[in-house]
A and B are shown apart, each in its own frame.
Chain A
């Protein structure tokens, strides 16, 4: 396998949606994945495979977006799955720490059957080359939603993220009250 540049890669084959994280998954590159996944779910895709073999780490927002995909699939009541593969010990620990091992099917060894060429990189997901400045409110909204997802997935997460979500909600409210709007 050649070395891929950092970013989030996606592909579809045999009714499955493949996601490969190369480098870090963070709040800075979660939004394109969220949009992509929701669009695929809207179109009826119900099986997701997330490959973490080249993932150097994930922040809670990125994990919350993954949790959101899992919760959305579950909510649709279909025979839907999100299978996380090629998980290193560090990422495995993170997923377990947040209780996401109960939401996802986890496999530390399976390699997804998708050829390299079938992946395409989602735009603006290489953290070293972001082209658009992030919008403050959009980022805050994404983070609030992601952490709410983590709490919905496992209520023990509430105490971990209480301070962050409270702060973000207050910040957004304050900005709206001050008329700062989207900047």
Chain B
């Protein structure tokens, strides 16, 4: 099992966060801390690149909805990018695709924000 890793890459006003490894209850607090820090700085345009993610737990997904809602209250969003098929199936099964926006390219995910 790969260690969980977070890499933050600014893309103009958007914050691209590359996730790798396993996003479970054990590792989620690290992402939570990162998102809280960004929000405290007034940065609400967030894209989570999931290409290197090999697992995401249900509780983490639930919490992401909370972050996406919070960001939307400030005209921002938390979007998912490059979600692997096996993880997308889970997200879709649980209905999360109705709330979390999922994109296949970085351009599509970033261009959707009002300010870039």
Which residues of A are at the interface with B, using a C-beta cutoff of 8 A? Answer: 24, 26-28, 56-57, 59-61, 90, 93-94, 97-98, 134, 136, 139-140, 143, 147, 160-161, 163-165, 167-168, 171, 175
B38 interface hit (Cβ, 8 Å): no
In the bound complex, residues from chain A placing their C-beta under 8 Å from that of B22 are 57
Q: Across the interface, do A167 and B99 meet the contact criterion of CB distance under 8 Å?
A: yes
**Interface locus among B10-18, B41-49, B57-65, B104-112:** B57-65
Closest Cβ of chain B to A67, distance in Å, is: 13
Given the complex, which residues of A lie within 8 Å of B55, measured CB to CB? Answer: 24, 57
Q: Per a CB cutoff under 8 Å, which of A28, A60, A140, A165 touches B25?
A: A60
Chain B residues closer than 8 Å to A94, beta-carbon distance:
25-26
Task: Find out whether the CB atom of B26 lies under 8 angstroms from the CB atom of A93.
Answer: yes
Q: List 9 A-B contacts (CB under 8 A).
A: A56-B1, A57-B1, A59-B57, A60-B57, A98-B25, A136-B93, A143-B58, A143-B94, A163-B66
Known contacts A59-B57, A139-B93; is A164 also within 8 Å of B62 by CB? yes
Contacts beyond the supplied A164-B62, A164-B65: 17 A-B pairs with Cβ under 8 Å: A28-B90, A59-B58, A60-B58, A60-B59, A61-B58, A90-B26, A98-B25, A136-B95, A160-B59, A163-B63, A163-B65, A163-B66, A164-B61, A164-B63, A165-B62, A167-B62, A171-B95
Q: Tell me the B residues contacting A by CB distance below 8 Å.
A: 1, 22, 24-26, 55, 57-59, 61-63, 65-66, 90, 93-96, 98-99
Residue of A nearest to B1 (CB): A56
Give the contacting residue for B98; candidates A134, A165, A171; CB below 8 A.
Answer: A171
Distance of B100 from chain A, by nearest CB (Å): 10
List the A residue with the shortest CB-CB distance to B66.
A163
CA distance A140 to B62 in the complex (A): 12
Q: Chain A contacts of B90 at CB under 8 A?
A: 28
Chain A residue contacts of B57, Cβ below 8 A: 26, 59-60
A26 and B89 CA atoms in complex are apart in Å by 14
How far does the alpha carbon of A56 sit from the alpha carbon of B99 in the complex, in Å?
30
**Interface pairs A-B: 3 shortest CB-CB:** A164-B62, A163-B66, A60-B59
What are the residues of chain A within 8 A of B95 when measuring CB–CB?
136, 140, 167-168, 171, 175
